C-alpha cells in the first residue's frame, strides 16, 4: 500500500506517472484506482462514479469485469452508499464485479 498519494489540482501526486490513475468528480477525491498493467483495458463508468466511488470496466483479452473502489462517508446515511453498491451491481449484472471499500466499519 502506498500512503503518500494525494490529489492536487486534479492530478494524483505520489504515484508514478507510468501508471494510469482513475479518479472522478469535482470535489476532493477519496477513492481512486491505479492500473499498473498496460495490457489491461480500463474504462471509467461515469454513471456510477464520483468523488467517493470509482467504477471501471476492466477488459483483458476476452474477460471483462467491473471493478469499484468506494469510500463510505460516516457523515452520510449508510443507505446512500448501499444504493451506489446496488447501482454498480445492476450496471452490468451479467458481468462479474469486485468492489473494495473503506466502509468506516469501526466509526461510531
% of the chain exceeding 90 in pLDDT:
44
**Does 27 fall in a domain?**
yes
Q: How many independent structural domains does the chain possess?
A: 1
The separation between CA 24 and the C-alpha centre of its own chain, rounded to angstroms, equals 8
Residue 37 lies in a domain: yes
Backbone angles phi, psi at 70, to 5 degrees: -130, 145
Nearest CA to 69 out of 37, 41, 95, 103 is that of 103
Would the pLDDT of 3 be above 60? no
Mean of pLDDT values over 88-106: 84
pLDDT of residue 6: 55
Is residue 108 included in any domain, yes or no? no
10 found inside a domain: yes
Tens digits of per-residue pLDDT, 31-48?
888 888 889 999 999 999
Query: Is residue 107 situated within a structural domain?
Result: no
43: nearest Cα among 28, 24, 27, 17? 24
Q: Tell me, what CATH number does 52's domain have?
A: 3.60.10.10
Distances (CA, A) of 100 to 8, 10, 20, 48, 67: 23, 22, 18, 14, 8
Domain ranges, residue 28: 6-102
Residue 63: inside a domain = yes
65, part of any domain: yes
* C-alpha neighbours within 13 Å on the C-beta side of residue 27: 7
Amino acid at each position: 500500500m502506498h500512503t503518500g498519494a494525494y490529489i492536487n489540482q486534479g492530478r494524483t501526486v505520489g504515484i508514478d506517472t507510468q501508471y494510469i490513475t482513475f479518479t472522478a468528480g469535482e470535489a476532493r477525491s477519496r477513492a481512486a484506482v491505479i492500473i499498473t498493467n498496460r495490457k489491461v483495458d480500463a474504462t471509467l463508468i461515469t454513471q456510477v462514479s464520483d468523488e467517493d466511488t470509482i467504477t471501471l470496466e476492466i477488459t483483458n483479452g476476452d474477460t471483462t469485469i467491473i471493478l469499484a473502489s468506494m469510500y463510505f462517508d460516516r457523515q452520510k446515511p449508510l443507505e446512500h452508499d448501499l444504493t451506489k453498491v446496488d447501482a454498480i451491481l445492476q450496471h452490468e449484472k451479467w458481468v462479474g464485479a469486485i468492489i473494495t471499500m473503506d466502509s468506516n466499519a469501526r466509526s461510531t
